[in-house]
Amino acid sequence: MLERKIGRTDLSVSPLCFGGNVFGWTADEKRSFEVLDAYVEGGGNFIDTADVYSTWLPSHVGGESESILGKWISERNNRSKVVIATKVGSKMGTAPNAQGLSRRYIIEEVEASLRRLQTDYIDLYQAHRDDTDTPLEETMAAFDQLV
């Protein structure tokens, strides 16, 4: 499959990014693994998820998609062959400050995402939504600190 660079980075990605919001929701672990295997076998390497997937289910707390993806990467031992994108900023849990793009929250959530993904790096870490309560400079400084 043809690959493209992300911006001015050295990251080469397939033009079709696989969205993992269904992992742990409409696709259980077994089905998620099957779909991920087929995607990679077909030449895909770019997988998107988020910390918040799938908090909307009553029995879920968020991070289910990242956890399934992390287990798949660990079991397939293919971390160097896939490009992982995940996101931060959406509401996670019931704590009043468990959302947003403050420096504290970004740092806290990247550590949680790394644990769930069972990796020591995230290729593309993004803001899932705007946060008008946090100065943009604070958000950008936090992302810069992670690079």
DSSP 40-97: HHTT--EEE--TTTTTTSTT--S-HHHHHHHHHHHHHT-GGG-EEEEEE-S--SSSTT
Confidence bin at 23 (pLDDT 50/70/90): very high
Judge if the upstream peptide bond of residue 14 is cis by omega within 30 degrees of 0. no
- Phi, psi at 45, each rounded to 5°: -145, 0
Ordered structural domains, the chain, with CATH: 4-146 (3.20.20.100)
Q: What is the tens place of the pLDDT at every residue in 44-71? A: 999 999 987 877 767 777 788 999 999 9
Question: CB–CB of 50/86 below 8 Å?
Answer: yes
Tell me how far apart the alpha carbons of residues 138 and 85 are, in angstroms, rounded to a whole number: 21
First to last CA, the chain: 28
| pTM score, whole prediction | 0.91
Question: CB–CB of 21/60 below 8 Å?
Answer: no
Angle, CA of 6, 11 and 13, to the nearest 5°: 75
Tell me how far apart the alpha carbons of residues 142 and 101 are, in angstroms, rounded to a whole number: 9
> Is residue 89 predicted with pLDDT exceeding 90?
no
**For range 128-139, the mean pLDDT:** 94
**For range 70-97, the mean pLDDT:** 90
**The total number of residues written for the chain in this structure:** 147
Amino acid at 49: T
Catalogue the active-site residues. 53
